[in-house]
Structure 1
Amino acid sequence: MDALLALVDGDFRFPDGGKMSQYLEHLAIGDTIEVSGPKGKLSYMGKGEIHIKHRPRDVVPEIRKAKKIGMIAGGTGITPMLQVVRRALQDPEDKTEFYLLFANQSEGDILCREEIEAMAAAHDNVHFWYTVDRAEKNWQYSVGFVSADMMKKHLPAAASDVQIFMCGPPPMLKFAVLPALEELGFTPDMHFSF
């Protein structure tokens, strides 16, 4: 199993760091932890086919097809996006286009940046754009919260063969992403929140 860990140093909101970071920091080499999952409701089957189980007891998934998949991630919300893109890139015949809009507080907070940029450099069907709250000098991407304008520039337009996946802090999704998707003409059957 692959795991993505981000140890969070203290800041004004969490002076001692996050709870999980504090726990992991005190583990000794050789200690083990028990994890479960993934137990996701969405499965990327390949070649643009997406299966979604809306409730755990659903036996038959809703099946969606997409030629283009837009992805909006905030912080550690990048993890399910990477899983989908990695799955697609395992099949050279999967020509689905992926567009990632990745929001973070600062450039240093961008998880898996080298992998994201390497995937885009090696595959014409993978595209990415970053936005941060606090930019360093010479930052070449966006600054600020995810907006409808940013989505219009860096994600595919609403269409029957387009799906948008999103994962990030609930306030980001509720107050920024979902209203922007609606403004841009995306209907609920065109997007999925992890």
Structure 2
Amino acid sequence: MEQTLMFPVLIGLVAVLATVLFLFMKTGNSESRRKTSKLPKTLQDPSVKYPLPLVEKEDITHDTKRFRFGLPSSCHVLGLPVGQHVYLSTKVNGNLVIRAYTPVSSDEDQGHVDLVIKVYYKNANPNYPEGGKMSQYLNDMKIGDTIDFRGPNGLLVSNGNGQFAIRPEKKSDAKLRKFKHVGMIAGGTGITPMLQLIRSITGDPEDQTKCSLIFANQTEKDILLKKELEEVVKNHPEKLHVWYTLDRPQQGWEYGTGFVDASMMKAHLPPPANDVLIVMCGPPPMIQNACLPNLTKLGYDPQNTFTY
């Protein structure tokens, strides 16, 4: 009899604790956003260049590194809206070189900004014997050296809770759109804007937007930020689905093989709908020859697709 009476009491206690935990997380997230919005922002004007010093450099894979740059103070945040990127600029052999990058850090991180960048070395690829000018320059930087940052830049901003402000062109006004599910296709270093968006969505208990990601690479060792992605999947399986595909998989590989195609999209992306957004970032041949034609073939509205 006592066990019968205790059972509903225990259920009630569990329900109360779950409610308290949810409210705590919700309040904490709102407080965090309010706190962040009051912190000094580094990027005050997108037309101004801000020299930032390299404070740390770490190997991520055989050809990819994380570069950490210091902000003006330990209280500063970068001031980059989710969905936006920065431009880095410098002179290499007397010529101005400018490249766009999406940080893997966010405005939750104070005092620094992190970039994960693949270094294209000289003579590593016969098609590009000179390698990457900016990536090699960054690789050669010493701790304390500075490089110019400029931003925010980009045609897409995520406002949270599935609301996006998207500009079709640079000079056009942003259109506010609401989406319940975001499908993502990334190739190589194109994962960085996806991770930025994924972390923003999954880090907010109030945001019920779902994300589905197809991530294409040449080999398993080329997969960037896999540990970070798997951690998000583990903590938020209801919000994030990830499917990897490799050009040259090793024996025992459990995910996809080959280029991104229509059947892969159909299996791992949300089906076409007005509340579905598809975002892409990767090598131009992948976007032009694989992603866009197959999205059209499957019936996705071009107004509901976005290429970084």
Name the TM tier (shorter chain). Answer: over 0.9
What does residue range 180-191 of structure 1 map to in structure 2 within 5 Å? Answer: 180-191=294-305
User: Are 1:76 and 1:168, in contact at CA under 8 Å, matched by a contact in 2?
Assistant: yes
Cα distance in 2, alignment partners of residues 181 and 77 from structure 1 = 18
Q: Verify: 1:53 aligned to 2:167, yes or no.
A: yes
Q: Verify: 1:125 aligned to 2:125, yes or no.
A: no
Cα distance in 2, alignment partners of residues 90 and 122 from structure 1 = 10
Corresponding pairs, count: 193
SS of alignment partner, residue 30 of structure 1: coil
SS of alignment partner, residue 35 of structure 1: strand
Partner of 1:92: 205
What does residue range 96-111 of structure 1 map to in structure 2 within 5 Å? Answer: 96-111=209-224
Partner of 1:2: 114
**Structure ranking higher on relative contact order (CA contacts 8 Å, 6+ apart):** 1
Q: Counterpart amino acid of 1:180?
A: N
The answer for unaligned runs of 5 or more in structure 2 is: 1-112
User: Are 1:16 and 1:22, in contact at CA under 8 Å, matched by a contact in 2?
Assistant: no
User: Are 2:202 and 2:239, in contact at CA under 8 Å, matched by a contact in 1?
Assistant: no
Partner of 1:153: 267
The change in CA–CA distance for 1:32 and 1:116 in structure 2 (over 3 A counts) is same
Cα distance in 1, alignment partners of residues 152 and 290 from structure 2 = 27
SS of alignment partner, residue 215 of structure 2: strand
Of 256, 276, 282, 1:168 maps to 282
Q: RMSD of the TM alignment (CA)?
A: 1.6
Alignment deviations for residues 74-127 of structure 1 (CA, whole Å, 9 cap, x no partner): 111111111111221231110111000011111111111111111111002111
SS of alignment partner, residue 34 of structure 1: strand
| CA positional deviation for 1:16 | 5.8
Instruction: Give the percent of matched residue pairs that are identical in Structure 1 and Structure 2.
Output: 49
Partner of 2:68: none
Q: TM-score, normalising length from structure 2?
A: 0.60
User: Are 2:155 and 2:167, in contact at CA under 8 Å, matched by a contact in 1?
Assistant: yes
Q: Verify: 1:43 aligned to 2:169, yes or no.
A: no
Q: Which has the higher strand share?
A: 2
Cα distance in 2, alignment partners of residues 106 and 64 from structure 1 = 36
Q: Verify: 1:13 aligned to 2:127, yes or no.
A: yes
Cα distance in 2, alignment partners of residues 162 and 126 from structure 1 = 14
Alignment deviations for residues 48-85 of structure 1 (CA, whole Å, 9 cap, x no partner): 11110223333x41121111110001111111111111
What does residue range 22-33 of structure 1 map to in structure 2 within 5 Å? Answer: 22-33=136-147
| CA positional deviation for 1:17 | 4.0
Q: TM-score, normalising length from structure 1?
A: 0.92
Cα distance in 1, alignment partners of residues 151 and 116 from structure 2 = 14
The answer for unaligned runs of 5 or more in structure 1 is: none
| CA positional deviation for 1:2 | 2.8
User: Are 1:147 and 1:180, in contact at CA under 8 Å, matched by a contact in 2?
Assistant: yes
Of 81, 91, 97, 2:194 maps to 81
